[in-house]
Amino acid sequence: MNGRSDGRSDGRSDGRFDGRVALVTGAGSGIGAGCAARLAAEGACVGVLDLRTAAARATAAGIRSRGGTAMALTCDVSDEKQVEEAVATLVAAFGRVDVLHSNAAVLDADVYGRDRELDSLDVAVWDRTMEVNLRGAMLAVKHTVPAMPDGGAIVITSSVSALVGDTVHAAYGASKAALIGFTRYVATMYGSRGVRCNAVAPALVLTPNAQRALTPAQLADKAAERLLPWACTVEDVAALVSFLCSDESRCLTGQTLVLDSGTLAHRPQHAVHQSRHPL
């Protein structure tokens, strides 16, 4: 994997991941879809895995329409048999796995939307959050590492919610915090085999779903918390994931990289005050 990416989106490879096979979970939309497209544009054969069959197929079809190579895989990442079968299907098609981006998370209204105050939290919401976000990552690693004959790169999507508290979403935040610890364990267990494992912790990423879900006032509050005048985009996350999966980051492992436009680098009230009372 030599050379730097120029961020092409037309499916033509610049050689960074030529001959490599990548698996991206939760790749039917949002961050996962963007990262799958980026890896494919840089030469990887990509397994596009999602619980939603139509979404996985749409992402894979989009990659192929731009000249890339992709296979759609339908899987509930919390189900070990399904994960094992999905990885086996990818390996049967391409012979190996070199890159895993474990990105799947439960964000639907029935679970994430009900992850509110602890004193009224349905335990089923907590359990399902842990099943998908945490167990799903463990199962993805468990079944892909044996298919990495020459070492490989694993990137796990955590969140800034792992690093700070909030008045809601305790289950989500706890699951994402656990993933940071899990990242270190994977890096430690498999480093001698040449397998690297890092995590990315994005703040709000302006996916279409996020922009639909948040009110203008909420978006304004998020903007006031940032040091930089722009929010993170899917392309920003994809660029970081691609770097962490490439040989350019060959000495990085066990790390968590925060992608938040400076949100956690300061006390947010300073930025809020500045936005309301500019100098």
- Confidence category of residue 215, pLDDT binned at 50, 70, 90: confident
- Mean pLDDT for 267-275 is 60
- Confidence category of residue 221, pLDDT binned at 50, 70, 90: confident
Per the CB < 8 A criterion, the answer to whether 86 and 47 are in contact is: yes
- Mean pLDDT for 41-67 is 98
Closest CA to 227 of 193, 200, 263, 198: 263
Give, rounded to a whole angstrom, the gap between the first and last alpha carbons of the chain: 48
What is the largest distance, in Å, between two alpha-carbon atoms of the chain? 61
User: What's the CA gap between 184 and 118, in Å, rounded?
Assistant: 28
0.75 surpassed by pTM: yes
Average pLDDT, the chain: 91
112 flagged as catalytic = no
pLDDT of 207: 83
> Cβ contacts of residue 260 below 8 Å, gap of 6+?
160, 201, 202, 203, 226, 232
pLDDT of 271: 53
At 222-236, the pLDDT tens digits run 888 899 999 999 999
pLDDT of 273: 56
Domains, the chain, ordered by start:
21-276 (3.40.50.720)
**Token pair in block for residue 255:** 């790390």
- Confidence category of residue 14, pLDDT binned at 50, 70, 90: low
- Confidence category of residue 8, pLDDT binned at 50, 70, 90: very low
Which is higher by pLDDT, 164 or 11?
A: 164
Per the CB < 8 A criterion, the answer to whether 96 and 149 are in contact is: yes
Per the CB < 8 A criterion, the answer to whether 3 and 26 are in contact is: no
- Confidence category of residue 5, pLDDT binned at 50, 70, 90: very low
At 239-255, the pLDDT tens digits run 999 999 999 999 999 99
CB-neighbour burial class of residue 191 (10 A; exposed 0-12, middle 13-18, buried 19+) = middle
What's the sign of the alpha-carbon dihedral 7, 11, 14, 18? positive
Catalytic residue, candidates 112, 172, 185, 190:
172
